[in-house]
C-alpha cells in the first residue's frame, strides 16, 4: 500500500510541475510569436490551450502565489492519502497474520468509518457538541469545494483573493482530534474500528531504538509525553527538540507499561498500525 500511495503522490506532483513548466513555456513562446506577427503583419492566431483551466496572469508575484497554492493543495491530497493509508493498513496486516485472535487486547480493524453522531456520542461526546462538530466539518468541506470552483471561474484579481482564502483554510483545517482532545479521539478511533496505536514491527541494527532497548511488538504509547495514535505522530515528534538530548518514550510490552529513554532524532524502527482498547 505504501509504495502505491507514494507512486500516486509522485505522479500528482510530477504532473503538476510538468503542466506548470509547459504553461510557462507557452507564455514565452506566445510572446516571441507576437513579435514575429507584428513584423510580418500576419493576423494574430489564438494559441490558447483549450485544456488549460486558468489563464496565465501577467503578474509574476501572482504566479508564485498560484504555484504555492497548488503545492498546498497537492500536500493536502498527499496528507489525505496518508490518512487513508493509516486507516486501512491494519486490514492487510491482519490478512498476513495466521492467528489474529492470539492477542486478546487487540481488536480486528473494520473498514474506515466516516464521522457520525452515533459514534461521537459513544465516544463520550455530548449530542449537541457532536452536532456542532459535524456541522462545522461539513461547512469547511463545502467552503473548500466552493473556493476551488470560484478560483477556476474568476478573474485574476478576485482569483488571488480566493486562492489566499483556500490556502488559509487548508492551513487551519478543523480536525476531529483538535475538537475532541487526545483521550476522547483515542476512544473514537477504537469505537469506529480504526487504528489507534503503532506497534514496532522491527528494530533497525545499530539504531537509537536498539541501544535504548526497543523490542519487536512493543506498542508505543507516548513520545516526550505526547500521545501517539498513528505513525505520523511519531514522525512529527522525532523532528522536534535538539539532536543529542534525551526524552522518554512510554511503551506497552506484554501487557506491562514501561518507560525508555531515547535520544531525539531518528528512532530506527519499522511500525505497524494496530488497535488497542484505550480502557485496558
Helix (H, G, I), strand (E, B) or coil at 201: strand
Spatial distance between the Cα atoms of 22 and 222, rounded to a whole number of angstroms: 47
Cβ pair 188, 123 in contact under 8 A: yes
Spatial distance between the Cα atoms of 178 and 191, rounded to a whole number of angstroms: 18
Q: Residue 223 — φ and ψ, nearest 5°?
A: -135, 120
* Residue carrying C-alpha cell 484579481: 157
What CA–CA distances, in Å, run from 156 to 5, 55, 150? Answer: 34, 8, 11
Rg (CA), the chain: 25
Spatial distance between the Cα atoms of 254 and 105, rounded to a whole number of angstroms: 10
Which has more confidence, 57 or 224?
Answer: 224
Helix (H, G, I), strand (E, B) or coil at 155: coil
Q: Please state the domain extents for the chain.
A: 2-177, 197-274
* Residue carrying C-alpha cell 509547459: 22
Q: What is the pLDDT of residue 204?
A: 96
Q: What is the pLDDT of residue 40?
A: 45
Cα 6 to the center of its chain, rounded Å: 12
Asked if residue 271 has pLDDT above 60, the reply is: yes
Which residue in 265, 258, 269 sits closest to 201, CA to CA?
Answer: 269
Q: How confident is the model at residue 174 (pLDDT cuts 50, 70, 90)?
A: confident
Cα 248 to the center of its chain, rounded Å: 26
Query: Percent of the chain, pLDDT > 70?
Result: 60
Helix (H) or strand (E) holding 93: helix 60-96
Angle CA 32–34–37, to nearest 5: 115
Give me the count of residues in the chain. Answer: 280
Q: Residue 176 — φ and ψ, nearest 5°?
A: -60, -40
Asked if residue 5 has pLDDT above 60, the reply is: no
Spatial distance between the Cα atoms of 235 and 83, rounded to a whole number of angstroms: 13
Helix 156-171 × helix 127-153 angle, to 10°: 150
Residue-wise pLDDT tens digits, 75-104: 656 655 655 555 454 444 444 443 333 333
Cα 98 to the center of its chain, rounded Å: 31
Query: Percent of the chain, pLDDT > 90?
Result: 41
Mean pLDDT for all residues in the chain: 75
Those residues whose C-beta lies under 8 Å from the C-beta of residue 6, and which sit 6 or more positions away, are none
Q: What CATH number should be reported for the domain whose range is 197-274?
A: 2.30.42.10
Q: What is the pLDDT of residue 182?
A: 92
Ranking 38-47, 155-164, 194-203 by mean pLDDT, the lowest is: 38-47
Asked if residue 247 has pLDDT above 70, the reply is: yes
Mean pLDDT of 56-75: 64
Cβ pair 148, 166 in contact under 8 A: yes
Model-wide pTM > 0.85: no
Amino acid at each position: 500500500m505504501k509504495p502505491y500511495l507514494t507512486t500516486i503522490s509522485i505522479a500528482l506532483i510530477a504532473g503538476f510541475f510538468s503542466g506548470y513548466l509547459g504553461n510557462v513555456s507557452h507564455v514565452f513562446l506566445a510572446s516571441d510569436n507576437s513579435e514575429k506577427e507584428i513584423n510580418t503583419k500576419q493576423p494574430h492566431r489564438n494559441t490558447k490551450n483549450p485544456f488549460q483551466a486558468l489563464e496565465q496572469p501577467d503578474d509574476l508575484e501572482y504566479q508564485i502565489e498560484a504555484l504555492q497554492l497548488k503545492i498546498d493543495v497537492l500536500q493536502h491530497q498527499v496528507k489525505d492519502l496518508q490518512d487513508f493509508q493509516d486507516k486501512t493498513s491494519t486490514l492487510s496486516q491482519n490478512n498476513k497474520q495466521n492467528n489474529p485472535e492470539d492477542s486478546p487486547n487487540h481488536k480486528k480493524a473494520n473498514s474506515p468509518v466516516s464521522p457520525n453522531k452515533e459514534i461521537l456520542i459513544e465516544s463520550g461526546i455530548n449530542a449537541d457538541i457532536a452536532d456542532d462538530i459535524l456541522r462545522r466539518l461539513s461547512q469547511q468541506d463545502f467552503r473548500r469545494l466552493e473556493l476551488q470552483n470560484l478560483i477556476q471561474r474568476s478573474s485574476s484579481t478576485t482569483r488571488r483573493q480566493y486562492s489566499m482564502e483556500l490556502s488559509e483554510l487548508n492551513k487551519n483545517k478543523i480536525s476531529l482530534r483538535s475538537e475532541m482532545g487526545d483521550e476522547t479521539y483515542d476512544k473514537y478511533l477504537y469505537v469506529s474500528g480504526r487504528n489507534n496505536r503503532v506497534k514496532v514491527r522491527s528494530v533497525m541494527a545499530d539504531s537509537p531504538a536498539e541501544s535504548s532497548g526497543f523490542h519487536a511488538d512493543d506498542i508505543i504509547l507516548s513520545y516526550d509525553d505526547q500521545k501517539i495514535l498513528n505513525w505520523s505522530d511519531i514522525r512529527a515528534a522525532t523532528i522536534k527538540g535538539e539532536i543529542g538530548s534525551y526524552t522518554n518514550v512510554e511503551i506497552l510490552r506484554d501487557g506491562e507499561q514501561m518507560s525508555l529513554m531515547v535520544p531525539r532524532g531518528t528512532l530506527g524502527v519499522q511500525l505497524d498500525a494496530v488497535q488497542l482498547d484505550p480502557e485496558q
